[in-house]
Amino acid sequence: MPKVTIDGRTFDAPAGRTIIDIAAQNGIEIPHFCWHPKLTPAGNCRMCLVEVEKMPKLAIACMTTVADGMVVQTASEKVLNARHAVMEFLLINHPLDCPICDEAGECKLQDYAYKYSIGESRFEEDKVHKPKRVELGPNVLLDVERCIMCSRCVRFSDEIAHQPVLTFTQRGTHVVLTTFPDTQLDNRYSMNVIELCPVGALTSRDFRFKARVWEMSSTDSVCTGCARGCNTNVWVRNNEILRLTPRHNEEVNSYWMCDDGRLKTFKHVNAAERLSAPLVRKEGQLMETGWDEAIAKAVSELRLFRKNEIAALGSGFSSNEDNYLLQKFFRETVGTRLVDLVEHVVEGDQDDLLIRADKTPNTTGAREVGVRPGPAGEDLASILQGVRDGSIKALYVLEDDIAADPAVREVLGNLELLIVHAHQRNATTEFADIVFAASTFAERNGTFVNFQRHVQRFRPAVATQEQDRALDGFNMSRWDKFAAHNDRWGRGSRRDARPSWRILAALAVVYGVKYRYQTAEDVFREITERVPTFKGMSYLAVGSRGRTLAAAGTTAPAPVA
Amino acid sequence: MSSNDKMIRTKDLTFLEKIYLPEIVKGLFLTVRQMFKPKVTVQYPEERFEPPAQFRGRPVLVHENGVERCVACGLCSRVCPALAIEVQAAETPLDKERYPEKFEINMIRCIFCGFCEEVCPEEAIIMSNEYLLVFQSQEEAVFGKDKLLKSAEEMRPRLEFLRDHR
Ligand code: SF4
Ligand code: SF4
Ligand code: SF4
Ligand code: SF4
């Protein structure tokens, strides 16, 4: 194996790799704007200049392939001077926009100006002015003045999103990034250019000016928009989700996520119409009640029916823990065999990058932990048939708006008892007798299994009434840390919602069975003991990158992917 | 230094000093002289003190012809050691792109340090000469834009002071 020495340390360097690649892999930072591990190198920002022994001039680390015996200096005086010069050039026409720039606080140019620039400019002339607030597409706005012409966005659109609509026009200091005539940046992955842009030239129309970066907390989570389960960061201020951004996970979503996942999967968490307490139907109207009353009522109502008159539907939107307890409660405690779920597959809405036709994050997991047709083929179709012909009189539904499907909606009226877990009023709650206010993926701990059978964790980012950001170990912003009870900016709105698994455990207790789970992790531990494919897993082992389930039928855990 | 090591011997009191009387007369003389000088005590609350421009009274927001200078960058809010300031930005068609949709200062939290004034890139938040702050409830102490905005005209003494002394 060829060897290369970088800053006095020697590394193996497989032929064909570049200096920046080897350095990055070994934890040596070579500053760069235009290079990105997933895009073809462009070599245009000149920030990654390094000194290579026996080369007459400095070389760009992103395009120089390593050779055996190469000796590289990334911080020699020559290199530092070159960096100062590059920074000085880049800042010549850069506007003094940091106070109004959404990128401030997570801006490569800002960071490098601190780290690698001498902090003074010799340029006294007027800066070139260029258009601001240019619409590149429905979700992305461009500030041309801030653009440093790194071409990352251009290359992303060409190479990853396969929608080559961006290009540069003009020359020299007048270069302008633009879309080709009559085109716009409107592919389903368009918003990835926002994080990709090393500066604040590209901003999100949705998030624009909502908050400064340092005012939010960021929590590792998983997108609930489809079965890919892209890894995300949930950004919260004042107990409200303001944006989702992709989190790197090479096994699942690399550096990307789709626009639908980014924009459509969190708004319901903040919605003003969220249920703030359990609802029980009294004289035809759903009325708010206390938890104890709703749970006692649910149990006494369920007891009025015979085992085979009761059916339960899990949900691909609920966690493994929720689905596991649902099937355990109904199979073991209530004694019915009628447990299944409604799938949400949009045929054909799938591509080669991320988007999957299955629009739930966890159908695979729900099936795995036991929400699947019974031994005699008791599946969704037979449950719906039973409801239609009146043999099934009571139905229990986890977080899923099943009545959105007209075929299901039609039969729900036949039920004598419908109990649902919901985040807000929807078509299904219209028919419900008891509605439990369930917390969303952003308010609890849990796991999903994506279509690759990859188990992934999500963590609470938004607090419900019973949670405390500090005591429950939430990630906290400075505002969260110092807010007093009377600070308007510190509390946000909190709902009296509970995780579905806890509601089910409470039901079981009133039913007379001791379910001793204190946390979601306790439920997960039981899953790892009872479901062979989960054997050997734990929240710790799943961590923030996830772990792949053993293949069905085997008991040994798959190696960490 | 060697002088540090030396014992310093204070002078003995003279006879006149020892008998105290001349010193008492001197002191009385000072007091009596003061009685004939102009008075600086203000009979608050009947009379009000007019602070000079360098006084750090409660912070205010400067507007020009009804448009606040503030661009809602949140730097004042970040630098405020007492976390008194809450800013919510929003977009405006004006050149400055953003403006504070909501700007609130909790006057119970504010410690009048003037950091916000110092950090503001727009000279939009400045310390005024107002020191009369009385509230009957916590809610009342949270000043919104209605109470914070003052015209640049009205704030001219402070703005000029800042220009000359910063
Ligand atoms: S892109 Fe970076 S350096 Fe430029 S104005 Fe925005 S935050 Fe400042
Ligand atoms: S908009 Fe951003 S990503 Fe695109 S070329 Fe300019 S600086 Fe690079
Ligand atoms: S591809 Fe699926 S999981 Fe990924 S961001 Fe889009 S909707 Fe979410
Ligand atoms: S620092 Fe100035 S411009 Fe920025 S939010 Fe505060 S008052 Fe507004």
- Reported confidence tier of residue A404, pLDDT bands at 50, 70, 90: very high
Fill in the DSSP letter of residue A531: S
Q: Looking at the structure, tell me whether residues A65 and A22 fall in a common domain.
A: yes
Q: Looking at the structure, tell me whether residues A428 and A529 fall in a common domain.
A: yes
CB atoms within 10 A of CB B10: 5
- Is the CB of residue A50 less than 8 Å from the CB of residue A41? no
Final residue of a structural domain among A213, A242, A270:
A270
Nearest CA to ligand 1 atom 7: A104
What torsion, rounded to 10 degrees, do the Cα atoms A282, A286, A290, A296 define? 60
Q: What percent of chain A has pLDDT over 70?
A: 98
**Residue B51 located in a structural domain:** no
Residue A100 near chain B (CB below 8 Å):
yes
- Across the interface, whether the CB atoms of A100 and B86 are under 8 A apart is answered no
Q: How far is the centre of ligand 3, averaged over its atoms, from the C-alpha of A43 (Å)? A: 31
**Residue B70 located in a structural domain:** yes
**With a 6 A CB cut-off, is A244 part of the ligand 3 pocket?**
no
- Across the interface, whether the CB atoms of B74 and A208 are under 8 A apart is answered no
Q: Looking at the structure, tell me whether residues A243 and A166 fall in a common domain.
A: yes
How many structural domains does chain B have? 1
What is the predicted pLDDT for the residue at A460? 97
**Residue A472 located in a structural domain:** no
3-state helix/strand/coil string of A23-47: HHHCCCCCCCCCCCCCCCCCCCCCC
Contacts of A210 in chain B (CB under 8 A): 89
Q: Looking at the structure, tell me whether residues A77 and A130 fall in a common domain.
A: no
Residue B89 near chain A (CB below 8 Å):
yes
Q: Looking at the structure, tell me whether residues A288 and A362 fall in a common domain.
A: yes
Q: Looking at the structure, tell me whether residues A225 and A245 fall in a common domain.
A: yes
Contacts of A479 in chain B (CB under 8 A): 83
What is the predicted pLDDT for the residue at B4? 58
CATH code for position B139: 3.30.70.3270
**Residue B106 located in a structural domain:** yes
Residue A561 has pLDDT above 90, yes or no: no
Q: Which residues pair with B62 in a beta bridge?
A: B150
Residue A62 has pLDDT above 90, yes or no: yes
Residue A214 near chain B (CB below 8 Å):
yes
The closest CB to that of A209, out of B78, B89, B138, belongs to B89
**Residue A83 located in a structural domain:** yes
Give residue A169's domain range.
98-113+121-270
**Token pair belonging to A451:** 């279509």
**Token pair belonging to A154:** 């251009």
Residue A556 has pLDDT above 50, yes or no: no
What is the predicted pLDDT for the residue at A555? 43
Give residue B117's domain range.
59-164
**Residue A486 located in a structural domain:** no
Mutate to test the interface with A, among B77, B80, B83 (most CBs of A within 10 A): B83
The stretch A269-286 carries a mean pLDDT of: 94
What is the predicted pLDDT for the residue at B5? 65
DSSP A159-195: IIS----EEEES-GGG-EEEEPTT----STTTTHHHH
Residue A390 has pLDDT above 60, yes or no: yes
Tell whether omega for the bond before B81 is within 30 degrees of 0, i.e. cis. no
What is the predicted pLDDT for the residue at B93? 96
**Residue B11 located in a structural domain:** no
Q: Looking at the structure, tell me whether residues A165 and A226 fall in a common domain.
A: yes
Q: How far is the centre of ligand 3, averaged over its atoms, from the C-alpha of A207 (Å)? A: 18
- Across the interface, whether the CB atoms of B106 and A487 are under 8 A apart is answered yes
Residue A258 has pLDDT above 60, yes or no: yes
In whole numbers, what is the pLDDT of chain A averaged over residues?
94
Q: Looking at the structure, tell me whether residues A80 and A102 fall in a common domain.
A: no
* A133 → chain B, closest CA residue: B97
The stretch A225-245 carries a mean pLDDT of: 97
Q: How far is CA B8 from the centre of its chain?
A: 44
Q: Which residues line ligand 2 (CB under 6 A)?
A: A 147-153, 177, 196-199, 201-202
Nearest CA to ligand 1 atom 3: A110
Q: How far is CA A75 from the centre of its chain?
A: 37
Q: Are strands A310-314 and A454-458 parallel, antiparallel or unpaired?
A: unpaired
Hey, which of B122, B150, B162 would you mutate to test ligand 4's pocket, going by the most ligand atoms within 8 Å of its Cβ? B122
Which residue is it, tokens 């531990």?
A525
Q: How far is the centre of ligand 2, averaged over its atoms, from the C-alpha of A224 (Å)? A: 29
**Token pair belonging to A324:** 């596991």
- Across the interface, whether the CB atoms of A486 and B71 are under 8 A apart is answered no
Hey, which of A96, A199, A208 would you mutate to test ligand 1's pocket, going by the most ligand atoms within 8 Å of its Cβ? A199
**With a 6 A CB cut-off, is B87 part of the ligand 4 pocket?**
yes
Residue A520 has pLDDT above 50, yes or no: yes
Which of A53-67, A181-195, A201-215, A484-498 is the least confident region? A484-498
* A47-51, Cβ contacts within 8 angstroms, sequence gap of 24 or more: A47/A83, A47/A86, A47/A87, A47/A112, A48/A20, A49/A79, A49/A82, A49/A83, A49/A86, A50/A19, A50/A74, A50/A79, A51/A76, A51/A78, A51/A79
Ligand showing the shortest atom-to-Cα distance for residue A261? 3
Helices (H), A233-343: 259-264, 267-270, 291-302, 320-328
CATH code for position A233: 3.30.70.20
**Residue B1 located in a structural domain:** no
Nearest CA to ligand 1 atom 8: A98
Q: How far is the centre of ligand 3, averaged over its atoms, from the C-alpha of A428 (Å)? A: 25
Residue A54 has pLDDT above 50, yes or no: yes
Q: How far is the centre of ligand 2, averaged over its atoms, from the C-alpha of A147 (Å)? A: 5
- Across the interface, whether the CB atoms of B91 and A209 are under 8 A apart is answered yes
| pTM (two decimals) | 0.92
Final residue of a structural domain among A223, A243, A270:
A270
**Residue A380 located in a structural domain:** yes
What is the predicted pLDDT for the residue at A491? 74
Q: Looking at the structure, tell me whether residues A232 and A363 fall in a common domain.
A: no
* A485 → chain B, closest CA residue: B138
d(CA A257, CA A269): 19
Final residue of a structural domain among A213, A239, A270:
A270
d(CA A437, CA A269): 12
**Residue B54 located in a structural domain:** no
Q: Looking at the structure, tell me whether residues A325 and A301 fall in a common domain.
A: yes
**Residue B114 located in a structural domain:** yes
Question: Higher model confidence: residue A158 or residue B166?
Answer: A158
The closest CB to that of B75, out of A99, A132, A483, belongs to A99
For chain A positions 455-484, those within 8 Å of chain B (CB to CB) are: 478-479, 482-483
How many structural domains does chain A have? 3
- Across the interface, whether the CB atoms of B89 and A210 are under 8 A apart is answered yes
**Token pair belonging to A64:** 């120089």
pLDDT tens-digit profile, chain B (166 residues): 455 567 777 788 888 888 899 989 999 999 999 999 998 889 998 999 999 999 999 999 999 999 999 999 999 999 999 999 999 999 999 999 999 999 999 999 999 999 999 999 999 999 999 999 999 999 999 999 999 999 999 999 999 999 998 7
Q: Are strands A547-548 and A9-12 parallel, antiparallel or unpaired?
A: unpaired
Ligand showing the shortest atom-to-Cα distance for residue A458? 3
Q: Looking at the structure, tell me whether residues A259 and A291 fall in a common domain.
A: no
The closest CB to that of A486, out of B75, B89, B138, belongs to B138
Q: Looking at the structure, tell me whether residues A212 and A251 fall in a common domain.
A: yes
The stretch A163-171 carries a mean pLDDT of: 96
